[in-house]
Amino acid sequence: MDLVVRAVVAFFFVYFLTRVIGRRELSSMQPFDLIMLVMVGDLVQQGVTQNDFSVTGALLVGSTIGLLTVFVSYASFRFPRLRPMLDGEPVIVVEDGKPIDRNLRRNRITHEELAAAARLDGLDAVGDIRWAVLETNGRISFIPRG
């Protein structure tokens, strides 16, 4: 039972951590970010399993994490009011060719990163964008001017 409680605590810690880190960072990981992610995973694993190397312990922890993942996904689907808290909300970062600095700053996106993302999407300049939306998965969607 101790393993299940530690797995539940670790799950919600990692879930909270990913929400705090932000969607932009998770969608554009650098090598250092990937190494840090692996390190966090190893540290969480050590905290959950401690010295339990049994197959039963591994199955308990794996099942608990899997069930919690399904539960959070179902809660997001079933209860729309929880969705913004669980999944986040899309954020408008450009409106009528003008970047919204407050939203860019809050999501730690520079004007250069925004322009680079627009170029990757085939847009010449930020002024060519009618809307740009930072989606919940961390990608930026662009709607060009008509």
pLDDT in tens, 87-132: 889 999 999 999 999 999 999 899 999 999 999 999 999 999 999 9
CATH architecture label of 91-144: 2-Layer Sandwich (3.30)
Q: Is the dihedral of CA 40, 104, 83, 120 positive or negative?
A: negative
End-to-end Cα spacing for the chain:
59
* pLDDT tens digits, 9-60: 999 988 888 877 766 555 566 777 777 778 888 878 888 888 888 888 888 8
Strands 91-95 and 98-99: antiparallel
Q: Is the pTM here over 0.75, yes or no?
A: no
Cα–Cα distance for residue pair 115/103, rounded to 1 Å = 15
Domain boundaries, the chain: 2-87, 91-144
